[in-house]
Every structure is written in C-alpha cells, then in structure tokens.
Structure 1
C-alpha cells in the first residue's frame, strides 16, 4: 500500500472547480503517524467559504476536515486511541481536526487547538509531502499529535463523519459556559452546530430551549430535535424577538445564550435577551470584521459573563462519539446528511451544498 498512488480533489483558485489529481502515498510513516483510507467526508460551511473566496487558505490544498476513515498503516509507536483502546489496521476511526505538538506555550495551557506548530486537516497546502492532508481524497495522512478515536460500531458513517467538527465544538461550548436543568437557553443558529446544541440541551434537561434562525426548514429540524420555541428572525425587529423570549421567561430573559450563527448582529439580540447575571458563549464569529457595536453598559449593569471559544480540545471528540453512541437514535441525526455523492462527483456535491437545502452533503470515497 505505501508508495502507491491515489486520487484527491484539489482546490487551486477561487472560481475554478476542484481538479482530480494523483498523489503518491508516503513510503514510510513517522513513528506516531497513521495512514487512513477515507470512507466519507462531509462538506462544512468553512469549505464553502474557501471555495467562494470569503476565506483565504494556502493553495493548492485538499479541502475537507469532517472525515472518517479506515486505518491502513500505523506508525511504530502509535498503539492506542484516545479512549485507550488498541488501534489496529482495519479500524474505522475519527480524529481531531488538527495535530498539535504537545509541548509549546499553548499546548501547556491545555489549548492544543492553538498550538504554535498547529497543522489543520483540510487547511494545509498540498504541495509538500505527505500531500494528503484533507478529506476530499482516497487516503489521508494523520500527523503525529492527532487524537484518533475508534468509532463505536452502531454509529452510521453519515452520523459519525461530522462529529469531529460541529458536535465536538459545541461540547466544548457547553463545558466552557455551563448548562444545567434549571436554566433556559437561547441558541442563535439552527445549522449543524445549533442542532447539536439542542440535543445537548435536551440531554442536560434544561427548562426551555429557544432557537433563532432565518431558514424555516432549519427551525423545523430544531423543533424535531427538541427545541421548545423556534423563532424565525428574518422579518422581526430585535425588540420583537426579545419580547417573545421574555414573555416565556417570566419577564427575566434566558439564563444562557449561544452564538453559533456567525452573524454579528445576533450579539446585541442575545445581550438584550439574557437575564441579569446571564452567560453568553460566542463560537460562530470566526471571520475578520465582526465588530459588535454593543453597549458596554449592558454588559456591566447586567453582570453578564461573555466567553469565546474556537474549535475544541481533542478530548471533546471522544465525548462527542460517546454522546452519539448513547443518543444518535434518540434525535433525528439521520436527516442531517441530505445527499451522498462519490469523490468523482465532488463539484456536484459542492454545488449542492452551496444551495443550503441540506444541513450537510456527504462525499463517499471508500
């Protein structure tokens, strides 16, 4: 297997379709590296941002970071997964979206996602060996410092594949800000992040779940996941939304709010909707230029706690897989991947994902 050739879809320039290219598999692995045959990828919104030019990445590159695969080769020192279970050739696995060194300033602070030597899958130029660093390919090279987890057998590929992005991130969000059964929560955004947050909130037994979005079909899905109040904010003024939320919380407002929609105007709405002493977690504003323009007086006089997160600690991927093992049948996760196409149909898959009709589009390789 090592040293043979494989195919990958390469992004080279904004406005051009991805091009199928041949790459050589590495002839040998680093001691703690692995080589996987890609089984499936799903197309994340950040991939679409790169393709459209909204987000700048080094090109050429192989996109795709929501990936699962099958181990075909293991480095000599790579023995166990993140659960402590023995890794073997043939295992179906998921892995963290990044590889970290474990020794730098940020790794020592338990922020490996901010490692000074960070390498992110689907975000790395493919000109240099090992080339295969994204999911839109037949094979992928997993660098040393990547957290690898065996996927429980009863989780289908379509449900397991995006777990290393959205679900892991919102598990980090909930852990960072806190959530309990006595509280009400506002979730701003009903994409994959928001739907996973609804599931986590339901499992936490929270009192009331409010979800806002501008797409009816997504709000309908949020309701299926267990949201109590799904509010389409497309044609509503901020004060109207706040009024609806306060009417359902005895006039106080929600205890906790999550911004995971990537819309800066959502922040002001959340600040207005939170009760005195409330908590706010911002995770969706990852693009430059997200100037908030909120009244600092509101933060001070309302005793608000505001925190931000970006990506996740690899332990959160393990937690995500355990959550799906327990709850994937309880929630309508099977409705999230609307279409599955082959790697040879990658440009059709991207076009389909760009319509926003489906939460995710799958790309099956193996």
Structure 2
C-alpha cells in the first residue's frame, strides 16, 4: 500500500506552523469534526509556490501564525454531513485523489453571481488563513487540511502523477485563466514575458492551444533554455529587441516588462497582465496608441473553477509530450519546509514536499 494513503484514520495531524520570519515549527494538533460541505484531505504531495517564499521574506502580508501552502494533491479522508460534490458534479468519496482551488467563495454575493468567484467579497484562501481562526488547517504544509464548504474540489485523472497535479491548483490553473483571457491562439504570435513557473507553463499551454510562435523573454539564461524545452520557438534576454506580436502574456510583474509588452503588440494586439500582484512603478500608457492600434489590456488574478478543470485536462493531454516533471525537484519531508521557504531557490521552479 502507498505509505501516503495508508494512514487515513487518525484523530491528530502534524502541521508546519509558520510563526513569522523564517521560523517554522512542526506541531501536532487534533483533527476537527467536519461540518456540512467540508472535506478532510490527507496531503500526498505539496509544492512550494513563490508567493509563500515572498510571505516568509516579508514581501507579502499574511497572518501569523498560520499554516502556509496552497499547491497540493491529496486523498479524501472524510466528507461532512450530507456529502460534498466534486467539480464534475459527482459525489466525493473516501480515497478520491483530488486537487482544489485556492479561493473559497460565498457563492451569493454580487461578484459570485457575476462569475467572479475569485474576487468574492468574503473570499478565503487555502494557505492564507490565521491558525487562530475558524479555519486553522487551511494550508498544505501539513499531513492534513480541511477544505471548507464552497471549495472547488476536482478529481485527478489517473494518468496524471502527483508532481504534475500539485501545481494545478495554483500555477497551472492561473495560466489557463490567462490563456482564456488571451482569446483564440491558433496561428497567433504569442509573447510570454517571464520564464518562471507561470511563464514556462504558459509556453506549453499556448503551444497546446495552437499558437504558431511563442517568444519568451527572461533575464536568466537557464530559464530561457527551459522555455525552449517546453515549446518556445525563441527565447530572448530582456534587452534584446522583440518583434510584433498578436498576444502578450506578462507574468514577471516587472513594470519595464509590461511596457515592453505594450510596445511589442501589433495592430489588434492583446496584453494579458497576471504577474503584477504586488505594488510596482506605474507604466505610462499612450491612449492614442491604444486607440489607433486597437489594443486591448486586461488583467487576471486567481481563476475560476473551470480553469482548474482546464489545468488538469492540459496536464493529461500533454503528459507524454511536455517534460512537466522537470519543473519540480525530488520531494523532501515536512521537516524541510522552513529551509525551502527561507533558503536559496532550488534548481527547478517548484520544490516538492511529501508530508
């Protein structure tokens, strides 16, 4: 039996509790009784998103103490009274291998009604809640977590391994939202700005969507080489000239990169901004240029439930042609979470942990 799924009945769990700065301590805590709509999940594998490293370094605010982590794949241990439906409409069952959405929405506010559940007025987020709150087991740097009522939970296709499935609930699904915002890509020239986890995933997704050319820009040569392995037709440094493009997807969050993307768009071009999630210098916008060139600028932050399914579909469809496992380092134990969060970045965009 897989050791990660052998212990599915217990009344306690272990979490890597972040206590501020670079302090992370393993703590054993009781498992709660589940309420209606809640799901208890045993974490099989979790990956370290760059946003958690930003939290620990002080670049991103978060409650202290808390259990960080939001990218993971796990097994359903129990569901609350009345049962819980998965994203596909069928009931979740004990033993289902699942991933879940980062955001948890109320489903009733005006934003939810308009289809923007990721911007729900009462939104809560996996791995972003205080340990002293009503949702202490919200993070994936733990043996178990609880998914509240309103969570999006999707079953993982059997052919998609854990190290591919784990980032689906954050990086891959976010990219699928940007691909949707970019519009039809078949035969188009696409510029991807930034070759981190999101950028590399966007390269593969754009090629899978039929893009004729995918040009990547990034200051790091190793990242540019990785982008080429994932299907980029060319990869340039940030100071090299970029020709005309139909679509630009900006994932680095750099203001100069945003400006370069705008300059690179051809008539009718579309710029999708998804990397600018922290304050940065303003970017000049020439309204006459936007009007005369029929440009469109839009933003994407987080994603909707359909994008989680699209992420899993992409991974299943491309698992034999795209080297997805190259994005994730070999897994370590839960006791190494503190080092991964505060130490030097590893050789791959994602580090993996098996609790």
Deviations 1:71-99 (A, max 9, x none): 11111223431112332111111011111
CA distance in structure 1 between the partners assigned to 2:214 and 2:135 by the alignment: 45
Question: Is 1:8 the counterpart of 2:12 in the alignment?
Answer: no
How far the C-alpha of 1:361 sits from its partner, in A, is 0.2
- Counterpart of 1:140 (choices 139, 145, 148) is 145
Structure 1 spans left out of the alignment, 5+ residues: 246-252
| Residue in 2 that maps onto 1:359 | 349
Structure 2 spans left out of the alignment, 5+ residues: 1-7
How far the C-alpha of 1:112 sits from its partner, in A, is 0.6
| Residue in 2 that maps onto 1:197 | 202
CA distance in structure 1 between the partners assigned to 2:189 and 2:341 by the alignment: 37
Question: Is 1:177 the counterpart of 2:168 in the alignment?
Answer: no
Runs of 4+ off more than 4 Å = none
| Residue in 2 that maps onto 1:348 | 339
- Counterpart of 2:25 (choices 9, 19, 24) is 19
How far the C-alpha of 1:357 sits from its partner, in A, is 2.6
- 3-state SS of paired residue (2:92): coil
| Residue in 2 that maps onto 1:265 | 256
RMSD value, Cα: 1.6
How far the C-alpha of 1:182 sits from its partner, in A, is 2.3
- Counterpart of 1:151 (choices 151, 156, 159) is 156
- Asked whether the equivalents of residues 56 and 342 of structure 2 are also in contact (C-alpha less than 8 Å), the reply is no
How far the C-alpha of 1:212 sits from its partner, in A, is 0.4
Question: Is 1:255 the counterpart of 2:255 in the alignment?
Answer: no
Question: Is 1:274 the counterpart of 2:265 in the alignment?
Answer: yes
How far the C-alpha of 1:19 sits from its partner, in A, is 1.3
How far the C-alpha of 1:114 sits from its partner, in A, is 0.8
| Residue in 2 that maps onto 1:241 | 241
Question: Is 1:311 the counterpart of 2:302 in the alignment?
Answer: yes
How far the C-alpha of 1:216 sits from its partner, in A, is 1.2
CA distance in structure 2 between the partners assigned to 1:355 and 1:186 by the alignment: 26
CA distance in structure 2 between the partners assigned to 1:80 and 1:299 by the alignment: 45
CA 1:290/1:102 → structure 2, altered by over 3 Å: closer, same or farther?
farther
| Residue in 1 that maps onto 2:5 | none
Deviations 1:235-276 (A, max 9, x none): x2xxx423xx2xxxxxxx100000011111111101111102
How far the C-alpha of 1:351 sits from its partner, in A, is 4.4
Normalised to the residue count of structure 1, the TM-score between the two structures is 0.91
| Residue in 1 that maps onto 2:47 | 42
Q: How does 1:282-321 map to 2 (within 5 A)?
A: 282-321=273-312
The count of corresponding residues between Structure 1 and Structure 2 is: 348
- Asked whether the equivalents of residues 23 and 131 of structure 1 are also in contact (C-alpha less than 8 Å), the reply is no
CA distance in structure 2 between the partners assigned to 1:23 and 1:181 by the alignment: 51
